[in-house]
Structures are given as C-alpha cells and as structure tokens.
Chains A and B, each alone.
Chain A
Amino acid sequence: MADVRGRMADARGRDRAQLFLVGALAVAVLFVSLALLLNTAIYTENLATRNTASDATHAHELRESTNASVAGVVGYANYRENESYDTLWTAVATGVRDVSDGAAVHGAVRGRPVEVSLDSVENGTRITHDVEGPFVDASATPRGSWTVVDGAAGSRDIRLDVSTTNLADGSGLTTVSDYRQSDLFHLDLAESSGSTYEVFVYGDGADTVSVRVIEDDGTPDFVGSTCSATAGADGHVLVSVSRASVDDTACPALSFAEGLGQHDVEMQNATVAGSTQIQGTYELFVDQDVTTVETTAGPYYDETATSQSPYATPAVYTADVALDYRTAALTYDTRVTVDPEAHPRRYGIGRQSWRLSLAGGGGGGGGGDGGGGGNAAPTGSVSISDVTDEGGNRYDIETSWSASDTDGSVASVEVILRDPDGGAVETKSPPLGSSPVTFQDVKITGKNAGAPWTVELVVYDDQGGSTTITHTEDLP
C-alpha cells in the first residue's frame, strides 16, 4: 500500500499551528482593548484629583474681604468727612472706588477680574458723648432721664465707656422689682411693637462695673445673668451693647440688641436729684436722619459748638456695594451689605489701636522699643512752633523736632499728627535734619476745634531701637 502517514502527519501539524495563530491574535486584540480600558482608569484617577470648588471658596473670601474693606471706608468717612451727607457720600464713593482698584489689581494677577461699586448708602446719625461726664442731655438744666432717639429704624455700635468714679452702687439688689425701683442708671431700648430692654449699669464693689438686662414684654424678667468686669488702670470699663461684651468678657445677656425692630433709645437716672449715677463717655449710631434726631430727641449740642457733649453728626449707617467676580468657570454677581459692627473699630470710643494689638496688651505707645539688649534707645523732642489759619477751617501746623542717638546714629524719623480722637490724620517721614515740618491744610472743625491735638515723633536708630515722643496742645 502507498505510504500516506508521513504527509498526513505534516498536514495535521500545520492546521493546528494556524488555529493557535488565529487564537493568539484574537487574545492579543483583547489585551489591547484591556490596555485602553486601563488608560481610562488612569484618567479617572487624574480626574478625581482636580478641585473645581476652589473658585467658589475664593469668591467667598473675596466677599468677606470686600465687606471688611468697605466697613473701614465707612468708619473713616464717619469720623473724618462728616460735615454733611453729601461729603459722606463722596468720601464713601471714593473709598469704594479705591477698594475696587486694589481688588482688581489682585484679581488681575490671577486672571480674575473683580469689580466693586457703591450701590446705595443708608443715612444715619452718630451720637457722641466724648467729654468725660454724666450721661445727661445738652439742655440748659441738664436732665438725667431723656430720650436719645425717638423711633429709630435701627441702632448699632452702642458703646458706653463707664467710669468707676461716681458710679451708683447696686451690689445688694436681687429681684426685678429691686432693680426697677432703685435709682440705678439704665439704658432703655423700647421697641415700638415688642419688648422694652432695660440695661442696668452699676457699681458692684470696688472698681467693678456690673451690667444686668431686664426685658419687659408685659411681665418684666431678667435676661441672662449679671456680667461684671473690673476696671483697669484707666478706671473705665467698656460696655459694648452691640458686641455683647463688658470689657473683654462676653456678655450673652446683651445679645438682644441684634434684630430689634423700630425702637426708641432712652437714658434713665443718669443723675438723680442732682447727684451723678454714672459718668464716662459713650457713642452710638442710629438709622435716622440727623435733622429728625435733633428735633424729636435730645436736645443735643450744635455740631459747630466747640467741644461740648453730647452731639449728633451725620453718619453713614450702612452701605450696599455691588461685587462682580469672574473666573474661567465661575460668574458671581452679588450685593454686599456692609456690616461695620462686625469689624475691628479704628475710630471713636473703644477703638483698637494697631500698637495694642501688635504688642499683645502691652503699653499703648512704644511697642517695639529696642530690639536687642545693650542698645540705648534714641532720644528726641517735638513741639508745635506755629499755626497759620488758611481760612475755611483749614490750618497749616508747623512742628519743630530734633532727634539723636547716644550709641549710634538715627536711621529715620516719623512725624505723626493725631486728632483728639487719636486717629492719625497725617504721617510724614522727613529726611534727617529737615526740621521744621509743616502739615498743610489740616481741617479743624466742630468738636476738634479747641481740643487737644497730638504731634507724635517716632525716632528709629540704626540698631533697631525706637522711641516715641508726643506733644499735646489745644488747636487752633
């Protein structure tokens, strides 16, 4: 027979190999698609690390910083540009434009346009009693119980800087009727449709000031518990009704002041039968036009009278600004209602100065004296040599100064002019030896006229030490 085995064996081998080839190709294609899938998985992991919500966080921060900046502008305008509502509006509008320019530069660096513009301003009144004395009104025979504001839509920043001298004592009192029948001073906030809140401020032992709140909604009741604080070296305690604090302690009983409806503000028993129950200084802002305040309440001293208290001046109660913020993925248009109460106070009674906050509760002036040991601080002197009247309540104030250092040399000096409130009106950094220095066109009006102005000289030596010398004088 013919030998066919050999060829058949060959054929079988080839067929099997082809099958394996096709199968391997198919498996290879599957593995390639698996690789593509794994690619997608890697992309997913990358997608998971992207943070798209950071734009919204920036928008939030921008909103808060705009609120703080414009609150600062409003604070400045209320103490420096408060001749009339027109000058206030101009000052706030200019300030907001500056805030917008500054924010726009910061935003442009990151490719995010920002715009802030002033929408509207709520006119109000600032009522100030800044001469230490009893909390009486400005009538010919001063009254101890009088209306501060009649029917104000709102009030904010109510601060009483209470002295421990002549403060009526109320340490033994316990019940509501005890308080109400006593002669203790109380500040009343009477809602037109609601309750009346009586804030009793009295002495409680030596050098201690206590605050108690009674709410009268038909039946008088205590609100919270007594808040007390001991007066420091200056003999005063700051009772801040709006920030609900007595000096540095929180006082929850005072937090009723948030969200009051239309209300009257009255002072009761500031003096009783000629004897003072409370004295010190105070300040508050109310949401009512200054002419209305002066006709329906008070009486107040005319603002142009020289250094008398209490008086009422035009003020900005609150302002609305429009904020525009854009990034690649976010568009944010909103209106911010500025809340000056929520930000640090830089002017007026109970202000926080830069030096106190930096030195952490040290002395008021000269926080930063003498960096290293062994360096003698520099010395100097400053005085007001000449005051020239330029007309229109503007004056040129010439100050002469000198500075020297015993163990080195003077690096630089700063001459700062401060108004009676303590705020810096102008700061000059004259070159050494260029005494005298003149502050041009300083506006002195109203209560600042005839009041003590301060010229401050800060001398820096070349080893990091510094000295502050002040000179106070009544101007003009």
Chain B
Amino acid sequence: MTRGIPGQFRPLHRDSRAVSTALGYVLGLTISALLISVMLYGVGGFVEDQREQVVREELTVVGQQLASDLTATDRLARGSPDDTTAIRIESRLPAQIANTGYSIAIEDDPGSAYRLVLRTENPDVVVTVGFTAETVVDERTVSGGGLVIEYGTGATPTDLEVSNA
C-alpha cells in the first residue's frame, strides 16, 4: 500500500504497481533476441544471395573463356586443310569457383551451334553459354579446372575433343 497524501499524484517512474521484474526481464531478452536473430537472418540471406550472384558471374566468364578457346581451335583447324594437322590448346580455367567445384557439359544444338552448360552444386547454379563451330565438337562432361582441347589426335581426329588435363 502506498503511503501518501490522498489527492496528490505520484511520478510514473516511481510507480511500481503492476510490474513484475521477471516479466520485464523476459520481455527484454525476447525482444533483443528477436532483433538480433532477424538481423542475422537478413545479413545471412544477403550473403547467400551475393554468393549465388558471384558464382553465376564467374561461371559465365569461365564459360565464355572456354567457348573462345574452342572457337579459336576451330578456326585454326579450318585454316589447316590437311589430315595431318595436330592442334593442342590448354585452357587454364580456375579449379574452383567461390570454393565449390563445378562441371562443364558440351551439348550439340542444331546446325553448327553448341552449348556449354556449367553447373555448381552448392549453391545450385546453372549457366549456359552458346558458341558456333564448323568442326564437330565431341559431346561430353568434364569437371572444372585445367582443360585440354585437342584436334587431329585421339579417337576421332576430325573432331575437337575436350578433356581434363
């Protein structure tokens, strides 16, 4: 029971009626925990998003590099109209992209168009790069890293063959 002169107001901050210290404690903890976790979740999501974007960009760049090496080999093969031509180009691609491995699949499109499909598992990103080549390119899947493009040697000498170094 508060003591005081009836009719006089008590300042609010000294009014401790209907306040339980345990409830206040829990409320404070909960609110700050919620705040922190939401912030963590937001930033974590942002970082994950950025990672996927970086992986996508780098896969595109790697795909374009490989495509340009393949078209350069194709041009050289076409400019050497002889059965005894042997060409070997090493394409030094990075072994990992943002700390994950990746795979490259070469697929045939109608006409002299081809597709390079680059995949990573985690995060799950798929990038397609198209290119054209008059020489036949063997369809196969290789893992990322140092690659070798060969023409005039191997199983089919008239085809461009891509393999891991």
Contact = CB atoms under 8 A, between A and B. Distances in A.
Interface string B83-120: 01111111110100110000000000000000000000
A219 interface: no
Interface residues of A, number: 44
Nearest to B46: A34
A334 B24 contact: no
A19 B89 contact: no
B125 interface: no
A12 B24 contact: yes
Given A47-B94, A331-B86, A53 B47 contact: no
A5 B22 CA distance: 11
Interface string A16-43: 1001101100110011011001101101
A333 B72 contact: no
B43 A27 contact: yes
B2 interface: no
Contact of A37 (B47, B61, B89, B152): B47
B84 A15 contact: no
Nearest to A55: B89
Contact of B80 (A8, A16, A334): A334
A33 B40 CA distance: 13
A318 to B, nearest CB: 13
Interface string B24-42: 1100110011011101100
A33 B50 CA distance: 10
Interface in B69-84: 69, 71-73, 75-76, 79-80, 82, 84
Interface stretch (B3-11, B51-59, B132-140, B154-162): B51-59
Contacts of B54: 37-38, 40-41, 44
A30 B44 contact: yes
A335 B33 CA distance: 75
A53 B21 contact: no
Given A19-B33, A40-B54, 18 more contacts: A5-B21, A8-B25, A12-B28, A20-B36, A33-B47, A34-B46, A37-B54, A40-B98, A41-B54, A41-B57, A53-B68, A55-B89, A56-B72, A330-B87, A331-B87, A331-B88, A333-B86, A334-B84
